[in-house]
Structure 1
Amino acid sequence: MIMYRLPLLILAMSLLYIFIIPDEPLRFKLLFKLIPMAMIIFYATRQLPRKKSAAHRLILIGLVFSMIGDGTLHWFIIGLTAFLMGHIFYLAGFLTRWNFSWIRLITILPIAGYGLFMAREQIAALNQNGNESLIIPVLAYITVISLMVWSAIMTGNKWAIMGSILFVISDSILAWNMFISPVNHSGVLIMTTYYGAQFLIAHSLDTIVKDSNRIVW
Structure 2
Amino acid sequence: MDILETDTRYRRNIAADAASRCLKLLPFLASCGLYFVLWLPEPSWVSAGVKSLPLLSLVFFLTAQAWGDGACTPSACRVCWGLMFSSVGDACLVWPQLFLLGMVAFALAHVCYIWALGLHPARPWLLLPLALAWAGAYTTLWPCLRGPYVPAVGVYGALLAAVGWRALARPPPHLAVATGSLLFMASDLVLARDHFCAPVPQARLIVMGTYYAAQGLIAAWAPRAPHASPRWKES
| TM-score category, normalised to shorter length | 0.7 to 0.9
- Asked if 1:208 corresponds to 2:225, the answer is yes
Q: Does 1:42 align with 2:60?
A: yes
Q: Which structure's CA Rg is the greater one? A: 2
Hey, what's the Cα distance between the residues in 1 that align with 2:42 and 2:196? Answer: 23
Tell me which residue corresponds to 1:140: 155
Q: Which residue of 2 aligns with 1:84?
A: 107
Further displaced range: 21-30 or 50-59: 50-59
Match of 2:5 in 1: none
Residue in 1 that maps onto 2:194: 177
Deviation at 1:2, TM superposition (A): 5.5
Map 1:1-217; keep pairs closer than 5 Å. 3-23=21-41, 26-48=44-66, 49-73=69-93, 74=95, 75-95=98-118, 98-99=120-121, 105-126=124-145, 131-156=146-171, 157-209=174-226
Deviation at 1:90, TM superposition (A): 0.6
CA distance in 2, matches of 1:93, 1:53: 10
Deviations 1:97-125 (Å, cap 9, x if unpaired)?
x235x5xx422121011110111111121
Q: Determine helix, strand or coil for the equivalent of 1:23.
A: coil
Quote the Cα distance in structure 2 between the aligned partners of 1:161 and 1:85: 19
Structure of higher RCO (CA pairs closer than 8 Å, 6+ residues apart)? 1
Would you say the 8 A contact 1:40–1:199 is kept in 2?
A: yes
Alpha-carbon distance between aligned partners in 2 of 1:54 and 1:24, rounded to the nearest angstrom: 36
Inter-partner Cα distance in structure 2 for 1:194 and 1:24: 18
Structure 2 Cα separation of the partners of residues 21 and 172 of structure 1: 22
2:72–2:223 contact (8 Å) kept in structure 1: no
Contact 1:47 1:205 in 2 (8 A): no
The amino acid that maps onto 1:134 is: Y
- Is residue 163–residue 201 contact of structure 1 (8 Å, CA) maintained in 2? yes
Superposed structure 1 runs of 4+ greater than 6 Å apart: none
Q: TM-score, normalising length from structure 1?
A: 0.85
Deviation per CA, 1:58-81: give whole Å up to 9, x if none.
Answer: 222111111111111221111110
Deviations 1:11-34 (A, max 9, x none): 232132124232156111111111
Is the Cα–Cα contact under 8 Å of residues 117 and 166 in structure 2 kept in the other structure? yes
Q: Give, in whole Å, the separation in 1 of the partners of 2:28 and 2:73.
A: 26
Name the amino acid aligned to 1:20. L
Structure 1 position 185, deviation (Å): 0.7
Give, in whole Å, the separation in 2 of the partners of 1:24 and 1:86. Answer: 23
Which letter does structure 1 place at the counterpart of 2:194?
Answer: N
CA distance in 2, matches of 1:169, 1:24: 22
Deviation at 1:91? 0.8
* Residue pair 1:47, 1:203 contacting (<8 A) in 2 also: no
C-alpha separation in 1, matches of 2:147 and 2:91: 25
Paired with 2:108 and 2:159, the residues of 1 have a C-alpha distance of 9
